[in-house]
A and B are shown apart, each in its own frame.
Chain A
Amino acid sequence: MSDDKILFNTGSLDEISDILGKFDDIENSKLKLTPDNADSGLAKLVLTLVELIRKLVEKQAMRRVDGGSLTEEEIERLGETLWKLEMKMEELKKHFNLTDRDLNINLGPLGDLM
């Protein structure tokens, strides 16, 4: 993008590049399925979906906790379930050599998945 297209920016172009540089990982966060990496690519896809669902469940659970509608016992059980889910997920990520960033797929114009 040329300088004359930037109408307002209190910093420099380098500063914008620095911020955008943080998106370098976006290329890595895209799903690149090829015949050579079908296994790991599929694992990444499946784990991404599992992680998305896990986070949605967690978010909904926190809303309920914050709303004060759960008993102490229910919170205890919920905590144990969420904790076990997170631990299991960590185990799977480690097994397939994936990081949190790998599972946050970039959806192009729609932004990041999570």
Chain B
Amino acid sequence: MNFNKPPMEKLIYAILLNKSETDNLQQVLSGMAGIDKTALNPISFGQISAVYGNFSKSDFAANQAVAIAFAGVIDEVAKHYTLLPMRFGSFMKTSDDIAKMLEQNHDGFLQNLEKVENKFEFGLKVFGDSTKIQEHLKATTPVEEKPLSENEGSKFKIYVNKKLQAHRLEERLLTFADTIVAEITQYLKQMEATSKIRKMASEYILVDGVFLIKKNQQQQLVDAIGALQKQYPEIKFVLTGPWPPYNFVEVKLK
């Protein structure tokens, strides 16, 4: 029987920008803890560093609680450094492997880090029941729509007419979502934000967006969303953040 402890691998949390030579990353990390209160360690190459913890891969449970803890560690480090969050469960065998990975991908990491430097990600979800909004639109902005035919005729024509009314309502809902997206985009443009926005992500989510904006513009964003909420009380705006830039990193590891 083998009583040896399983080998400890390196769980990488994030790659961060560490430009200042006087900055003591090790000291900052010593005040924090990784998953299961494990220590956080840095490995640096040039202006970038990886933050990792020693963890036995066989003991690593890929469940929701651990994923939240993993995100929590990244969130804590992000308060001090510009970083690129690593995918949940990113393991490497040794610290030499991490050093090699940093060296091989230095330029790509640096380029992405500079893109997100001093910025945070924010998430916006605009909730609304599409059926209720359609009813609201019908009641508040009635549009004279000509019926299919003055003489409805057969049951098939009545059927098409019903489908046509539903189609027109759906088109109006999409136009409404477009209007909301346009309003949001206008505010974001003023903030020179980078954004990714999807409309009608589901029956209940009219708009689902993520934005990358400068850290000092957080209040401006909150105010803008507040103004939109006042303008459109029939839907519900929920803004979250600040988050590490989960949606704005494009690195292909070599």
Contacts and interface: CB of A to CB of B under 8 A. Distances in A.
Interface of A: 1, 5-11, 15-16, 19, 22-23, 58-59, 62-63, 65-66, 72, 75-80, 82-83, 106, 111-112
Contact of A8 (B155, B157, B208, B237): B237
A111 B153 contact: no
B136 interface: no
Contacts of B127: 16, 19
B160 A7 contact: no
B3 interface: no
B240 A76 contact: no
Contacts of A111: 198, 200-202, 205, 208
B164 to A, nearest CB: 6
17 contacts: A6-B240, A7-B221, A7-B240, A8-B237, A8-B238, A9-B239, A10-B237, A11-B236, A23-B204, A75-B149, A75-B157, A76-B153, A82-B159, A83-B155, A83-B159, A111-B198, A112-B201
Nearest to B168: A66
Contacts, number: 88
Interface of B: 122, 127, 148-149, 153-157, 159-160, 163-164, 167-168, 198, 200-205, 208, 218, 221-222, 225-226, 229, 236-241, 243
Where chain B touches its partner, the secondary structure class is mixed
Contacts of B198: 111
A63 B155 CA distance: 20
Given A8-B237, A10-B236, A22 B204 contact: yes
B75 to A, nearest CB: 9
A66 B204 CA distance: 27
Q: Which of A1, A62, A106 has the most CB of B within 10 A?
A: A62
Residue from the set A1, A19, A58, A79 with the largest chain B CB neighbour count within 10 Å: A79
Contact of A62 (B164, B200, B202, B205): B164
A16 B238 contact: yes
B148 A65 contact: yes
B116 to A, nearest CB: 18
Contacts of A8: 222, 225-226, 229, 237-239
Nearest to B151: A72
Contacts of A112: 201-203
Contacts of B241: 5, 7
Contact of A80 (B156, B164, B167, B229): B156
Contacts of B240: 1, 5-7
A15 B204 CA distance: 13
Contacts of B239: 6-9
A9 B236 CA distance: 8
Nearest to A78: B160
B14 to A, nearest CB: 18
Given A8-B229, A58-B163, A62-B164, A75 B205 contact: no
Given A6-B238, A6-B240, A75 B160 contact: yes
A79 B204 contact: no
A77 B153 CA distance: 13
